[in-house]
A = this chain, B = another copy of it.
Amino acid sequence: MASQRGEGDLTTPLEPADRERARAIPEAAVARLAVYLRVLSGMADQGVTTVSSEELSTAAGVNSAKLRKDLSYIGSYGTRGVGYDVEVLVSHIERILGLTRKHSVAVVGIGNLGHALANYGGFPGRGFPVTALFDVDDDLVGVPVGGIPVNHIEDIQRVCAEREVSIGVIATPPPAAQGVCDRLVSAGVQCILNFAPVVLQVPDNVEVRKVDLAVEMQILSFHVARRADEAANDLVNGIGVDGMVIRP
């Protein structure tokens, strides 16, 4: 048990054992870890010190076995017969997710969405300070939004370097997205969160996550349609909408 680590030390960030684990964590599990972390933080705020996999999993909306497996990816920090120490788990997940380091965020495209993002003011969950804003519109340049003055998009490279931006958020109209993305990449940004409904082309060393409202809506639409369809289907098969069989 020779662990316990300082904050954001980039040269020796994790013990070798943890390091190999970090490689092996499935993407899906990483997303859930973030959810567990939020639930755990809430519990810690309420003074809860210990939690079982059963409690935590229901609060996070997953299967308890899945939860335990997810936690096992990052090591064994529970006590059999008791559960998990909330504080320990929180700090351990934070370390695995790299949250001991601050991640400076730049938002590009200060339209409606960009405004909303900038005004979140330090992203939800903290640890993600927005330190730079960009837009093409000269009228916006210099105007402070959420306390930060907007820079012109031409200055991306310089400003991102100065402020050590590690995450770029693209909130531009679709046609501008790829160009902005290219600039962010050439400015050394390796992680991009893309709100524009465009498939971005990036080099292998850059990580892109996309948030696509249109796609989300259309997935919901699909389910509406499927349901309406099943209902119609059941009707012609003699089953009423309430599940009662009409013609037995």
Q: With an 8 A cutoff between CB atoms, is A84 at the interface?
A: no
Least CB separation from A193: chain B residue = B216
Q: With an 8 A cutoff between CB atoms, is A22 at the interface?
A: yes
CB <8 Å contact, B224 and A38? no
Given known A-B contacts A39-B199, A112-B116, A124 and B214 have beta carbons under 8 A apart: yes
**In the complex, per-residue mask of A157-186: 1 if CB is within 8 Å of any chain B CB, else 0:** 000000000110000000000000000000
**Interface of chain A, helix or strand or loop or mixed?**
helix
Q: With an 8 A cutoff between CB atoms, is A77 at the interface?
A: no
Most buried by B among A12, A120, A222: A222
- B residues less than 8 Å from A220 (CB atoms): 103, 167, 191, 193, 207, 209
A118-134, CB < 8 A from B: 119-120, 123-125, 127-128
Least CB separation from A25: chain B residue = B222
**In the complex, per-residue mask of A95-137: 1 if CB is within 8 Å of any chain B CB, else 0:** 0111101010100000111011101100111011000000000
Q: How far is the CA of A225 from the CA of B141 in the complex (A)?
A: 32
- Could you tell me the distance in whole angstroms from the C-beta of A156 to the nearest C-beta in chain B? 18
Q: How far is the CA of A230 from the CA of B217 in the complex (A)?
A: 38
Q: How far is the CA of A221 from the CA of B221 in the complex (A)?
A: 32
Q: With an 8 A cutoff between CB atoms, is A229 at the interface?
A: yes
- B residues less than 8 Å from A205 (CB atoms): 227
Q: With an 8 A cutoff between CB atoms, is A1 at the interface?
A: no
- Could you tell me the distance in whole angstroms from the C-beta of A184 to the nearest C-beta in chain B? 13
A195-244, CB < 8 A from B: 197, 199-201, 205, 207, 209, 211-230, 232-233, 235
Q: With an 8 A cutoff between CB atoms, is A190 at the interface?
A: yes
CB <8 Å contact, B101 and A225? yes
- B residues less than 8 Å from A65 (CB atoms): none
Residues of A within 8 A of B (CB): 10-14, 19, 22-23, 25, 27, 30-31, 33-35, 37-39, 59-61, 96-99, 101, 103, 105, 111-113, 115-117, 119-120, 123-125, 127-128, 166-167, 190-191, 193, 197, 199-201, 205, 207, 209, 211-230, 232-233, 235
Write 10 A-B pairs (CB below 8 A) sorted by A numbering: A14-B229, A34-B218, A37-B218, A59-B199, A61-B200, A98-B225, A103-B217, A112-B116, A190-B224, A193-B216
